[in-house]
Structures are given as structure tokens and as C-alpha cells.
Amino acid sequence: MVFFMVEEMNKVAFRLRSKHLIFEPLKVDVNWKSLPTNLMYKILRLPSRVHDANAYISTEWKYASYPPDYEELFEARIEKYAELGLIAIKLVEELQELAKLPTVPKTDDWDPKSRLQQAYDKIKAEIDARNQRNQLVAQQMPELLNIKNSNAANSSEQA
């Protein structure tokens, strides 16, 4: 994924240059019916989850994200791709357990599961905090508008 700036006649825009995640389990030569139904369903549903995540991110890009930072776009990408990563890791763990395969021993400090969980938790907290601020402002807006309207009315009465 690469973002680059495009300048056209004093307008600056960001264009996304990356391919969407693609996972096509039905193209893999696997006897899906050999898996427990619940696990098979989770795996075969993953492409739909990827599609939903990409649609959500695209919607944020088109309708909710604004310059100069496009904050909502980047938050959506972190939120949805971390969520997908955590789902994929969970599926791998379930498959390893089912097949009685050993887990890969850690040789360094890199732990994708904890890193994805931290990123997801952090971005969800930021989104929730912003939503709470927005709700508070929305609740206070009628009062603020009434104060401004009454000030304007008082000014015109005094004139």
C-alpha cells in the first residue's frame, strides 16, 4: 500500500495505490467437508469478511474522510485489517489444534497477534473517544444555537 500526493491546479489529493486483500479458499484444493462444519464456515466466510472490510474502508474514503489528514480512512484501514488479521490468526490456531500441529516457536519479540490486538484496541479507543466528543457536541448544539439566536434577537431589539 502506498499513498502519494497528486497536485493538479492547486488541488492536492491523495490517491491510494494498493490492491485489496484477496482470499479465495475455494480455489485451494481442499476437501472442505473434512473440517468441522463451524470451522469450515468460518474459513469460507473469510472472503466475505474481506469484501465487507474493503467496502467499509472505501466508504470511509469516499464519504467520511477529509483533508488534510484523512484520519478516518487510516483508522478504518487499521481497524478492519487488524480485525481480519486477528480472525485469520484464530483460524490458524483452530486448524493447528484440530490437526494436532505444533505452534511455531517464537524466536524473536515479534508477536503478530498481540501487535494486531494492540493496534485494534488503540484505534477502537480513539474512534470511541471521538464519537463520544461528537455526541457531546451534538447534544450541546441546540443550546449553543439558542444562545446565538437570543443574542442576535437582543441585538436587533436594541437597534
* Residue 60 reports pLDDT greater than 60: yes
What pLDDT is attached to residue 87? 97
Say how far residue 125 (Cα) sits from the centre of its chain.
Answer: 12
8 A C-beta contact, residue 83 and residue 50: no
Rounded Cα distance, 143 and 118, in Å: 38
What pLDDT is attached to residue 5? 40
Q: Residue ranges per domain, the chain?
A: 2-158
**pTM for the predicted model, two decimal places:** 0.74
CA proximity to 84, closest of 106, 56, 126, 107: 56
Greater pLDDT, 79 or 17: 79
Three-state DSSP class for 46?
A: helix
